[in-house]
Structure 1
Amino acid sequence: MKLASRFEAATLSTPELYGLRKEAFIAFTAAPRGSQEQRDALVTMRTIEDELATRAPGL
């Protein structure tokens, strides 16, 4: 999974972010424990959560 930056997350719509978060979660669970892939997926999920938290509810 490619690591998503804060800037990339900001350019996506809310539904796109939820889709990317799902992809990151699947990548996280599929990656070997403690691997760089797993860390990248976790950071991507955190980046997406941070971006979603800055948006107004319902948008």
Structure 2
Amino acid sequence: MKLVSRFEAAHRSTAELNGLLREATLAFAAAPRSSQERRDALASIQNIESALAVRPPRL
């Protein structure tokens, strides 16, 4: 999986971020331990969750 940067995450819609979060979570689970792919997936998850955390909740 390609790393999702904080900048990229900030410019995506909430729906897109939720989809990317799912992809990153699956990539993290499937990647071998200590691999660059796993580190990228984890960083992406953190960046996506940070971007979602600052958005107001939808009703």
Is the structural similarity TM-score above 0.5? Answer: yes
Q: TM-score, normalised by structure 2?
A: 0.94
Whole-Å Cα distance in 2 between the matches of residues 7 and 23 of structure 1?
18
* Pairwise CA distance, 1:52: 0.3
Whole-Å Cα distance in 1 between the matches of residues 37 and 5 of structure 2?
15
Whole-Å Cα distance in 2 between the matches of residues 30 and 42 of structure 1?
12
Matched, 1:17 2:17: yes
Segments of 5+ residues of structure 1 without an aligned counterpart are none
Whole-Å Cα distance in 2 between the matches of residues 40 and 7 of structure 1?
15
* Pairwise CA distance, 1:34: 1.2
Segments of 5+ residues of structure 2 without an aligned counterpart are none
- Which residue does the alignment assign to 1:56? 56
Letter in 1 for 2:19: G
* Pairwise CA distance, 1:3: 0.6
| Overall identity of the aligned pairs, in % | 63
Map 1:1-59 → 2, pairs under 5 A: 1-58=1-58
* Pairwise CA distance, 1:4: 0.8
Whole-Å Cα distance in 1 between the matches of residues 36 and 5 of structure 2?
16
